[in-house]
Every structure is written in C-alpha cells, then in structure tokens.
C-alpha cells in the first residue's frame, strides 16, 4: 500500500461548505512546507 492510499483513509470531519480542497491535498502541502523549513500557518 502506498502512502497516498493510506492518507485517503484519514476521515475528513470538515463541513461540506468548508471543503475547498481535498484533505489529502491539504496534508501533502502542509507536510511539504514543514519539510521546507517554514514555521506558522501564514508561511504554509
């Protein structure tokens, strides 16, 4: 099983009106930003 398949199993508890992006995309972008050395939500 690859990591993208495992990430898809994470439940998304956001309300439908707050879902502009898929949860897997948000997780990937946040993880990439942290690996790049950013700190804080404004930088992400």
Mean pLDDT across 18-33: 88
Q: Rounded to whole angstroms, how far apart are CA atoms 30 and 32?
A: 5
Q: Rounded to whole angstroms, how far apart are CA atoms 11 and 16?
A: 13
Would you place residue 42 in the very low, low, confident or very high pLDDT band (cuts 50, 70, 90)? confident
pTM of the model: 0.67
The whole-chain average pLDDT of the chain stands at 86
């Amino acid at each position: 099983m690859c990591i993208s398949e495992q990430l898809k199993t994470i439940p998304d508890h956001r309300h439908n009106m707050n879902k502009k992006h898929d949860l897997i995309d948000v997780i990937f972008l946040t993880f990439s930003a942290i690996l790049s050395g950013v700190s804080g939500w404004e930088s992400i």
